[in-house]
Amino acid sequence: MSSSVKKILAVAVFASLGACVTSPPKNVDNICDIFDEKDGWYDDAKKASKRWGTPIAVNMAFIHQESRFVAKAKPPRKKYLGFIPGPRKSSSYGYSQAKDETWDWYKDKAPHWGADREDFDDAIDFIAWYNYLSHKKLGIAQNDAYRLYLAYHEGMGGYSRGTYKKKGWLTGVARKVQTRASKYQTQLNKCEKRLNSGWWFF
């Protein structure tokens, strides 16, 4: 095989791999636009909500905050001397920014052994599942995005100990998540009937 043919094949392989990567929605500020653009996401979000009880808008607001709907999102690396890349701050990954150990716990207890943090359907099911646990174990209402997010970020044990009370920046983020969940719900109220009917307009 000639070197030119090998180069062509290599380019084709990389192009096909790149095509498999799901790009973020163009308008992450409107839940109706997100579901119109991303085929199957509404059904995935609806299924997770029905399975675990947390509203679609709350779960979607969590993904917006954690990854802005970037499938392969990772936390930034630490920098040495201001520019030398070091290790990442945690093993958080994917749409939900779930850590390795928490994701393994989900796969074991949900159970969902084939789950992948890069897949939207698995990620939103994970978030809905975790919010369900926070509701059952901590008594947080499933539409209380503010407190659910604090428990999601700090862990249920940390939430119980009130670790968030000394983190003004975190309570500020949680308020942003609550505001976005409310905004998403208002938007969803206007398009959910259409989404359920299967009619799509572009």
113 confidence band (pLDDT: 50, 70, 90):
confident
* Cα 19 to Cα 14: distance, rounded to the nearest angstrom: 9
Residue whose C-alpha is closest to residue 119's, from 186, 75, 67: 67
Q: Does residue 14 surpass a pLDDT of 70?
A: no
Q: Which structure tokens are listed for 21?
A: 């990567």
Q: How high is the pLDDT of residue 190?
A: 98
* Structure confidence by residue, pLDDT tens digits, 143-177: 999 999 999 999 999 999 999 999 999 999 999 99
Spatial neighbors of 193 by CB under 8 A, at least 6 apart, are: none
* Cα 151 to Cα 137: distance, rounded to the nearest angstrom: 11
> Are 60 and 31 spatial neighbours (Cβ–Cβ below 8 Å)?
yes
Confidence (pTM)? 0.83
> Are 124 and 60 spatial neighbours (Cβ–Cβ below 8 Å)?
yes
